[in-house]
Amino acid sequence: MELKYIVSAALEISGGLVALKGFLVVNQSYINLGIAGMFLGAVVLTLKSSKYVKKDAADMLLNSQKGFFKNLLSNLKLEGNAVYLPPYENLPKGGIFVPLHEEFDLDPARLDENTFFLTDVPDEESMGLLMTSLGRDLLEKYEEHLEAPISSTPEVESSAGSVLMALGLARRVHIEENESEIRVIVTPEVSCNPEECEKAPCPICASILLGLAKATDNLIGVESFEKKDYGIEIKARKLGGVREWM
């Protein structure tokens, strides 16, 4: 058995156990560490001696990660679609907030890196789940490719397209921005269930939307994910800057 398979399995198992422990004791740091371990396991397994790609293996591991979050969100009965937050003082690398209800309110001042369940709020409309690690590693790869922090929508499109193609995770990324509306087309090389990505995004979709939140300095609210002949179509909307929500 190749060393990479042993290392990958160890990362996946240990990451899953750490994430589960974090969930049980409501510790965001453990959850972040566990998810990072699971994702690194997927990356290790996709590496070949030359460059990349082990698509079937990446598919399997990404699906297992999404399955974990799908079950988690289902058990918590979260109704709202994911909202992507840009970096700000409390969350220097941004984050993903899944509200309890479709009609929601959010005070970013109540969030930080240690938040997981947001329940200490005046009403149910402000409750939800915060995920701070999904898509982060890929977003960092986009910025490594640019050799600079992402600062515009075209930079998200070009860097995500190049990195995801090099990793064998997607053939194409196309982004259209029209005032407050955003349309993203992703042609993935791995399986993607659009219905699940609305609330429990895979690292690919999460990284692109986190990049858009950072580039526009806006909260980005997901409206829909649809499977088309040309790929996955994501419709999202700018919801205003962090200060507007405080």
**First and final C-alpha spacing in the chain:** 53
Q: How far is C-alpha 204 from the geometric centre of its chain's CA atoms?
A: 7
Going from N- to C-terminal start, the domains of the chain cover 3-76, 83-131, 136-245
CA distances to 73, 116, 117, 174 from 99, rounded to whole Å, are 10, 12, 10, 27
Encode pLDDT of 190-216 as tens digits: 777 777 788 878 889 999 999 999 999
Find the mean pLDDT for residues 102-117.
Answer: 89
Among residues 102, 100, 136, which one has the least CA distance to residue 118? 100
pLDDT > 60? residue 9: no
Q: From CA 52, how far away is CA 102, in angstroms rounded?
A: 40
Mean of the pLDDT values across residues 11-36? 59
Segment 47-82, tens digit of pLDDT: 444 444 455 555 655 665 666 666 666 677 888 999
Q: Check: CB of residue 128 under 8 Å from CB of residue 99.
A: yes
